[in-house]
Homo-oligomer: A and B are copies of this chain.
Amino acid sequence: MRLAVIGAGAVGRSVLDLAGEYGHSVVAIADSESAAIDPEGLDSETVLARKDEEGRVGSADPDEAIDAEYDALVEATPTTLGDAEPGFSHALGALERDRHVVLANKGPVAERYGDLRAAERASTGEVRFEATVGGAIPAISTIEDFGPDHITAARGVLNGTANFILTRMAAEGLDYEHVLAEAQDLGVAEADPSFDVQGTDAALKCVIMANVLSGNGEFTLADAEVEGIEDVPGSALELAAEDGRTVRLIGEATREGVRVGPRLIPEHGTLAVSGTRNIVQIETTHAGRLNLSGRGAGGPETATAVLSDVGRLG
């Protein structure tokens, strides 16, 4: 397929880099200031070298990427809340042109799921968004294949930064501020880590799963009960360890809503994944519990989910 990639951060760059290996070509890529377009397929090395050297992917206007001749638009700009712009408009633009949309951006599916599905119904294009939940973990496609009607809940560890911090606090007996600083030094946590440590990112992923489970897109971040890890004291982890337990930031999605917060879980249990790994537990009506774990973030990991979605397009 011919892809147009909007966003030239870690995910967009990795999609550009890996598309050829999956049998697809990238005919357009846009960052916030520019676009590169080539109907014959862009050369990823050339484009990425220009981005590194000049800070822009090309010389065209970014809006031209949406107008290019592609089969699927890959929306990989940063997640925004509320109206989920400009990601939502990018997706809408592609659907209005009867093109498919593959999202790595959580905003449109968490904050405007109903609007997005309505635009999809009015289009011959299809919307997919495996990459928005758990990186390379096939959470959304598994829920789809089982059928949302046959799943009662999806829960798990969905933020690698928060999980890294809790894992290190438990393993080393260190307090939150100390481990956060370490995580920032390692590049695991951002300079402003609030999106991760306050539970927002995990909540968005759970909102997306709740929307898929309920089918009607009634949930947004505003509906989620969210508590982060900033107030988890090191002493709580020590007490938990004495009892064979530990603490993880667990998010849960059901048809009734979304809850995210620090929870006590068995130290060697399935949910106690280490470091930046993610896990999604799916409760099925006829087949018990499924556990899916893997790398929940990263450019190539998320790009792999995007390209799996592209492969699933009709």
Contact = CB atoms under 8 A, between A and B. Distances in A.
A105 interface: no
Contacts of A298: 287
Contacts of A295: 287-289
A141 interface: yes
Given A138-B142, A141-B141, A141-B145, A303 B291 contact: no
A304 B292 contact: no
**A268, A287, A289, most chain B CB atoms within 10 A:** A287
Contact of A290 (B150, B270, B293): B293
A80 interface: no
Interface in A95-137: 135-137
A213 B294 CA distance: 20
A215 interface: no
Nearest to A293: B291
Given A136-B284, A138-B145, A268-B268, A304 B150 contact: yes
A127 to B, nearest CB: 17
Interface in A275-314: 284, 286-295, 298, 300-301, 303-305, 307-308, 311-312
A53 interface: no
A146 B270 CA distance: 24
A13 to B, nearest CB: 13
A290 B21 contact: no
A287 B311 contact: no
A304 B290 CA distance: 12
B286 A294 contact: no
Contacts of A150: 21-22, 304
A72 to B, nearest CB: 15
A141 B140 CA distance: 13
A212 to B, nearest CB: 15
Interface residues of A, number: 38
A46 to B, nearest CB: 21
Nearest to A272: B268
A170 interface: no
A272 to B, nearest CB: 9
Contacts of A307: 147
Interface of A: 14, 18, 21-22, 135-138, 141-142, 145-147, 149-150, 268, 270, 284, 286-295, 298, 300-301, 303-305, 307-308, 311-312
17 contacts: A14-B286, A138-B138, A138-B142, A145-B312, A146-B304, A146-B308, A268-B268, A284-B304, A286-B301, A287-B295, A287-B300, A287-B301, A287-B305, A290-B294, A291-B291, A291-B292, A292-B292
Given A138-B290, A146-B308, A289-B294, 10 more contacts: A136-B290, A138-B141, A138-B145, A145-B308, A147-B308, A268-B268, A286-B303, A287-B301, A291-B294, A292-B292
In the A-B complex, the 5 residue pairs with the closest CB atoms: A136-B287, A287-B304, A290-B294, A286-B300, A268-B268
